[in-house]
Structure 1
Amino acid sequence: MVNPVTFYRSEAVGSLTAPRLLLAHGAGAPADSEFMERLAKSLSLQGVTTLRFEFPYMVKRRQDGRKRPPDRQPALLECFRQAIADVAAGPDGGCPLFIGGKSMGGRMASHMIAQGGFPPGIRGAVCFGYPFHPPGKPDRWRINHFQDLKRPLQIIQGTRDPFGRRHEVEEEERGLAAMENVRLSWLEGGDHDYRPLARQQESHDEMLRQAAGRAAAFMHCLK
């Protein structure tokens, strides 16, 4: 029997029928990292309930304090499927459900909606800082599966994200704009964690609010 997934839940403010976002962490930080906590709070204020969970390697790190590399993709996706099943079986299983994540977690969410076999109640996916390629290796793109997406995918990306800067993404010859289910939104000056340039008027909190607002608009539109 598969153990149930532990969730870090942040309730939407002012809505009983809020969309829910099943939110996975990035490769190096857990579900309760500062970024994930602040993002969940911003989404809550935008009327989105978030349920954060951790992949097996991060659960083990929490147990013994030892850092580990991420699990291989099949294990990550199996954990994602289990988290979806647990949410769907919960008391608010009838509310609109989206999946997504930070960086690697968002990439896994995009693979989920590309592979199929997910519950029909999933409306789409949201990626906060998509790892288009490893930093410094713009020849290793990770978007081949985008052509198979079966639900809309919203990517919210900082313009100076080393995993995919704006000029790199816009010049990518495979043409993201031609992919019907991919929606790309840019945060001017933001890095991989949406931190702004020192000369910008926006604070980091404001950048996170912008990211949450764009994600919420996407979800409310499709719910």
Structure 2
Amino acid sequence: MNQVLIDGPSEADTTFIFAHGAGAGMEHEFMAVVAKKIAAHGIRVVRFNFPYMVKRSEDGKKRPPDRAPKLLEHYQEIIATYGSKHTVIGGKSMGGRMASHLSEESRVVGIACLGFPFHPPGKPEKDKGEHLAHIEKPTLILQGERDTFGNRAELESYPFSSSVSLVFVPDGDHSLKPRKASGHTEEDNRQLAADKIAAFIVEVCQ
């Protein structure tokens, strides 16, 4: 049984399927806040839990993410069940990376990723974004400037395909949170991310 949460108009033509990261599920505060901010633009936002997170919600036991094939299969089921006339997929960290591997799904018109995990912190040699050099669907990546999974200095010369748009979030870490001394706020960065995603969704769904 799929667990989902839906924000925004229930019958909208445009849907954003928003996958969670590795360590926290669809109800995490970051996911809830960003989903509601995107939905405020009149977009239907569908959050869901991957199978391992469903089990965690049932028994409270932390467990590592499922293997990629299982994650991708579940994501495809969500697209088939909850996609609409225009469907954009994406997610936070691992969820966004999984979405980027489903770019050839026929119902998907675009991909939006928040904090893409290009590599484990401190291990830039373990690159997980090579496929982004060849992706053909419009793809938006919102990355904190200080993200330890891929920061601004590392990504400004990264070999993206022409379909990828990269937007840096001011002084943001992997959760887009800035340092107080930066003059930016977490609220502003979340709003920026949601507004950028909403504008991207509207553009690719026209």
CA distance in 1, matches of 2:11, 2:6: 15
Q: More deviation in 64-73 or 201-210?
A: 201-210
8 Å CA contact 1:161, 1:192 repeated in 2: yes
8 Å CA contact 2:138, 2:204 repeated in 1: no
SS in 1 for 2:123: coil
* Residue of structure 2 in register with 1:131 after alignment: 117
Query: Normalising to structure 2: TM-score of the pair?
Result: 0.94
8 Å CA contact 1:101, 1:126 repeated in 2: yes
Aligned-pair identity in percent equals: 40
* Residue of structure 2 in register with 1:57 after alignment: 52
CA distance in 2, matches of 1:188, 1:84: 32
Query: Normalising to structure 1: TM-score of the pair?
Result: 0.87
Alignment equivalent of 1:10, drawn from 7, 12, 24:
7
Unaligned runs of 5+ in 1: none
* Residue of structure 1 in register with 2:101 after alignment: 111
* Residue of structure 1 in register with 2:33 after alignment: 38
The CA deviation at 1:16 is 6.7
**Residue type of the alignment partner of 1:10:** D
RMSD after superposition: 1.6
Structure 1 consecutive aligned stretches of length 4 or more whose deviation exceeds 4 Å:
15-18
> Between Structure 1 and Structure 2, how many residues are aligned?
205
Correspondence 1:170 to 2:160: no
The CA deviation at 1:200 is 2.8
Unaligned runs of 5+ in 2: none
CA distance in 2, matches of 1:185, 1:103: 15
SS in 2 for 1:57: helix
**Residue type of the alignment partner of 1:6:** Q
**Residue type of the alignment partner of 2:6:** R
